A and B are shown apart, each in its own frame.
Chain A
Amino acid sequence: MGLVTFDFLALLALGAVLYRFVPRRARAAFLVAASYLFYATWNPGMLLALFASTAVVFAAGRWIEAWRERPAVSRLVAIAVGVLVAYLAVFKIAEAMRLGGGFVIPLGISYYTFKLISYLIDVYWATGPAETDFLCFAAYVAFFPQIVAGPIQRGSDFLPQMHRAPLATAPMILSGITRIVLGCFKKLAVADTLALLVNYGFNHATGTAGLPRLMAFYVFPLQLFADFSALTDIAIGAARLFGLESPENFDAPYSAASISEYWRRWHMTLTHWLRDYVFTPLRMRLRNWGNAGLAVSLTVNMVLIGLWHGLTLPFLVFGLIHSVYLVVDALTAQYRKKLYRKRRWLSLVTDWIGPVVTYHLVAIGDVFFRARSFADGFAIVARLYSGVTVEFGTVVSAIQAGAWIGLGGYALVEVLEYIRRRQPELRVAAAPRWIRWSAVSCALVVAVFFLAVLLARKSAVNPFVYAIF
Chain B
Amino acid sequence: MTDTDLTKRLTDVFHRTFDDDRLTLSRTMVAADVEDWDSLTHINLIVEIEREFGIKFTTREIAGLTNVGELMDLISRKAGLIA
The answer to whether A281 touches B19, judged by C-beta atoms less than 8 angstroms apart, is no
Chain B residue contacts of A260, Cβ below 8 A: 38, 40
The answer to whether A127 touches B40, judged by C-beta atoms less than 8 angstroms apart, is no
Check B74 for interface membership: any CB of A closer than 8 A. Answer: no
The answer to whether A125 touches B19, judged by C-beta atoms less than 8 angstroms apart, is no
Q: Could you tell me how many residues of chain A have their Cβ less than 8 Å away from some Cβ of chain B?
A: 22
The answer to whether A125 touches B60, judged by C-beta atoms less than 8 angstroms apart, is yes
Check B2 for interface membership: any CB of A closer than 8 A. Answer: no
The answer to whether B43 touches A280, judged by C-beta atoms less than 8 angstroms apart, is yes
The answer to whether B62 touches A280, judged by C-beta atoms less than 8 angstroms apart, is yes
Contact of A275 among B39, B60, B64 (CB under 8 A): B39
SS class, residues of chain A in contact with chain B: helix
Check B63 for interface membership: any CB of A closer than 8 A. Answer: yes
Residue interface bits A324-358, CB-to-B below 8 A is 1, else 0 = 00000010011001100000000000000000000
Check A294 for interface membership: any CB of B closer than 8 A. Answer: yes
The answer to whether B43 touches A125, judged by C-beta atoms less than 8 angstroms apart, is no
The answer to whether A280 touches B59, judged by C-beta atoms less than 8 angstroms apart, is yes
Chain B nearest CB, measured from A65 CB (Å): 14
The answer to whether A294 touches B59, judged by C-beta atoms less than 8 angstroms apart, is no
**Residues 256-312 of A at the B interface (beta carbon under 8 Å):** 260, 264, 275-276, 279-281, 283-285, 287-288, 294
SS class, residues of chain B in contact with chain A: helix
Task: Kindly report which residue of chain B lies nearest to residue A68, judged by CB atoms.
Answer: B60
Contact of B43 among A126, A284, A337 (CB under 8 A): A284
Task: Kindly report which residue of chain B lies nearest to residue A279, judged by CB atoms.
Answer: B39
Contact of A280 among B36, B39, B47, B64 (CB under 8 A): B39
Among A125, A264, A275, residue most surrounded by chain B Cβ atoms (within 10 Å): A125
Check B79 for interface membership: any CB of A closer than 8 A. Answer: no
Chain B residue contacts of A294, Cβ below 8 A: 40, 43
The answer to whether A287 touches B43, judged by C-beta atoms less than 8 angstroms apart, is yes
Q: List 27 A-B contacts (CB under 8 A).
A: A125-B60, A127-B64, A260-B38, A260-B40, A264-B38, A276-B63, A279-B39, A280-B39, A280-B43, A280-B59, A280-B62, A280-B63, A281-B59, A284-B43, A284-B57, A284-B58, A284-B62, A287-B43, A287-B47, A294-B40, A294-B43, A330-B40, A333-B36, A333-B40, A334-B19, A337-B19, A337-B36
The 5 residue pairs across chains A and B that have the minimum distance between CB atoms? A125-B63, A281-B59, A284-B59, A283-B43, A275-B39
